[in-house]
Amino acid sequence: MQKTRLDKSNGAQREPSEVISRYLEAIYYMWSEGEPLRSARLADWLGVSRPTVTVGLRRMARDGMVRLTRSKEIELTAAGMKAAEAIVRRHRIMERWLTDALGLDWVTADEEAARLEHAVSEVVERRLYEALGRPRTCPHGNPIPGHSKAAAREVRLASLEAGDGAAVTRVSEVAEREAPRLLAYLFDRGLVPGRKLKVVEVDDVGRTLRVRAGDGEVTLSHETAGKLWVVPA
């Protein structure tokens, strides 16, 4: 699946509202996961009605942040991408602070960062980034825009075969936002960035994968395995 093309046009814009920021953040996450950027999917992600999303997208198009392609997919303009990256960068730095400095768990940190990201200035963001030692990723391994990129050769765990080894690089943003219990499940079982694992068995009928991570084994559904990004050994 190819990522949506980005418009290369430029243009200044004012700071987006909190509602529009949520739209930009969701679109960015979907784009980074290679998901089709359609209004119906965006409505599901945000938990709002499709007419509400339509109104929001019209406002964003008017402000030069998005446009719709002929196939009705959403594209971020250069200005929209810049604004989205700023929001995501702030969120991931806040997550890093909440986990590394305050000791919060993954799920709580993500929820609190979503509240704080709209109230933190660029000055505080930069100071936090420096104080944290210039982290390259959020606690779940997702790259901080402007400071790092996704790992090369990265694939979804679900694409591996029995006998394949790999190292976890990040947890999908889908798991973060749409299935917080799954985020906690992966954390509790040690399926975190840096964890080395080996695929023991692939059950094509039951659509499951059994993996060995550390001293234990975990059986994951094909859907859950698709939420973990890894670099094959």
Residue 124, burial from CB neighbour count under 10 angstroms (0-12, 13-18, 19+): middle
User: Which of 78, 109, 142 marks a domain boundary?
Assistant: 142
Kindly state whether residues 122 and 159 are assigned to the same domain: no
Q: Which long-range contacts (CB under 8 A, 24 or more apart) does 96-103 make?
A: 96/132, 96/135, 96/138, 96/139, 96/144, 97/128, 97/132, 99/139, 100/132, 100/135, 100/139, 101/132
User: Which of 142, 167, 182 marks a domain boundary?
Assistant: 142
Share of residues in the chain with pLDDT > 70 (%)? 92
User: Tens digits of per-residue pLDDT, 188-215?
Assistant: 888 999 999 999 999 988 899 999 998 8
Mean of pLDDT values over 143-165: 91
Q: What is the pTM of this model?
A: 0.84
> Dmax of the chain from CA atoms?
55
User: Tens digits of per-residue pLDDT, 14-41?
Assistant: 677 888 999 999 999 989 888 889 999 8
Q: Quick check: is 148 in a domain?
A: no
What value does the mean pLDDT of the chain take? 88
Kindly state whether residues 122 and 165 are assigned to the same domain: no
**Domain that includes residue 36, residue range:** 1-142
Q: Quick check: is 208 in a domain?
A: yes
Q: What is the pLDDT of residue 183?
A: 82
Share of residues in the chain with pLDDT > 90 (%)? 62
Kindly state whether residues 73 and 163 are assigned to the same domain: no
Instruction: Provide the 3-class DSSP secondary structure of residue 56.
Output: helix
User: Which of 142, 166, 181 marks a domain boundary?
Assistant: 142
Kindly state whether residues 38 and 105 are assigned to the same domain: yes
- Looking at the structure of the chain, the number of domains it has is 2
Q: Quick check: is 149 in a domain?
A: no
Kindly state whether residues 76 and 123 are assigned to the same domain: yes
Question: 143 to each of 36, 193, 199, 222, how far by Cα in Å?
Answer: 21, 12, 25, 24
Provide CB contacts within 8 A for 30, sequence distance 6+.
36, 37, 41, 42, 45
Q: What is the pLDDT of residue 14?
A: 62
